[in-house]
Structure 1
Amino acid sequence: MSRNKKEPIDKLNNIGIKNTLHLFNRVKTPDDRNEVASETGLSNDEIMRLTKFCDLSRVKWMGPIFARLFLESKADTVEKLSESNPEILYEKLVEINNSKGYTKAKFVENDVRLCVNIAKMVPNVIKY
């Protein structure tokens, strides 16, 4: 991983990737991701993590904190999220949040169910 949180953003900005839409358009295939890694000097692992974050951000109402929770829960792509059991996923998200303290905001199982249902409507266009 990069030494600081801003370094990957700076490296992406240097090649014209300024937001998640720009990133989305550049990371749809393994070859695309390899090209971005080569152009930026970011590791393939960093590019994959950013790709998954970008993928999850396409789910309506998915904010960065919730996306981070989903990434850590292994429901880390739109496809995996859409196939998740909301009850089991909710328990996992609570466990992660209790352990890492990402948010003090309370979320409920229905919030997770909503994300799962919305993810079912999002096209799976990123090839992993």
Structure 2
Amino acid sequence: MGYYIDEASTSLDNLQTRLETTDLIPSQKALLSELTKKMDALKKTGIKSIAGLRTRLKSKKSLASLADDSGINPDYLAMLRRAVEGFFPKPQALKTFDWLDQDTIARLDQAGVRNTRQLYEATSSGVDKLVDNAGLKKKNLLDFLSLSDLSRIQWVSPTFARALAAAGFTRTTMVAAANPETLYEALMKANENAHFYKGKVGLRDIKRLIAAAAYVPVG
């Protein structure tokens, strides 16, 4: 499986279901207004998947064109674009995980592996080849791989990935399968001990995190 969801095979119906079943953040609640009607309008323009939608929303010019073609307000389309792009978190530079082994970062850099997506793809069939080719310690690589995996979850920064790992949730699958209260308590305890972040993360945020993790491809 890829680093991200397969945008080409994720239909507008899939998108509608995700929006309807997600506890949207306040700034995105308006997306639910006449959602079926708007999805139907997008389908009539020839858009069949999230890939097609992202292409039509990519620039201001193409978004304006889609607004004309579909009859959907451009402000709504801009909001939809922000929501959809959130499904594709920007890969994190490995050097931002600066609390991990610096020699591993340097060796990965020399091997052309500089961000979380590149690391995920370089180890898609196993870690041994990269360990041998780059002269890495396997344990150190697995630490990076764990954080790279967690970084595929929407809203998860390098610092928050570190907090999740410290709380005992080292893979996206563990987050997706977590009991919200259990994850919340473990995360609060880990942060209390190490002060990973200053902001308040509530139980509702954790529930959103778990829901987002469930969409991350496994493989």
TM-score range, shorter chain: 0.7 to 0.9
**2:190 corresponds to 1:85:** no
1:34 and 1:58 map into 2 onto residues whose CA distance is 22
| 1:16 aligned onto 2:112 | yes
SS in 2 for 1:59: coil
Rounded to whole Å, the distance in 2 between the matches of 1:43 and 1:71 is 19
Q: TM-score, normalised by structure 1?
A: 0.87
- C-alpha separation in 2, matches of 1:93 and 1:22: 28
Question: Per-residue CA shift, 1:42-95, capped at 9, x if unaligned?
Answer: 211111111111111111111111111111222111111100011111111010
Give the corresponding residue for 2:22. Answer: none
1:29 alignment partner in structure 2: 125
Q: C-alpha distance in 2, partners of 1:78/1:29?
A: 18
Q: For residue 124 of structure 2, what is the amino acid of its counterpart?
A: K
CA deviations on 1:86-105 (whole Å, 9 max, x unpaired) are 11111110101110111122
Letter in 2 for 1:102: F
Amino acid at match of 2:145: T
1:61-72 to 2 correspondences below 5 Å: 61-72=155-166
Instruction: Tell me the residue number matched to 1:111.
Output: 205
Identical counterparts, % of pairs: 26
The CA RMSD over aligned residues, in Å, is: 1.4
| 1-structure distance, mates of 2:189, 2:163 | 10
Question: Secondary structure in 2 aligned to 1:107?
Answer: coil
TM-superposed deviation, 1:5: 4.1
Q: How many residues align?
A: 120
Q: Deviations over 1:31-51 (max 9, x none)?
A: xx1111112222111111111
Higher relative contact order (CA 8 A, sep 6+): 1
Indicate yes or no: 2:100 matched with 1:100. no
Secondary structure of 1:38's partner?
A: helix
Q: What TM-score, normalized by structure 2, do the two folds share?
A: 0.52
Does 2:125 match 1:49? no
**Which one has the largest radius of gyration?**
2
Partner residue, 1:74: 168
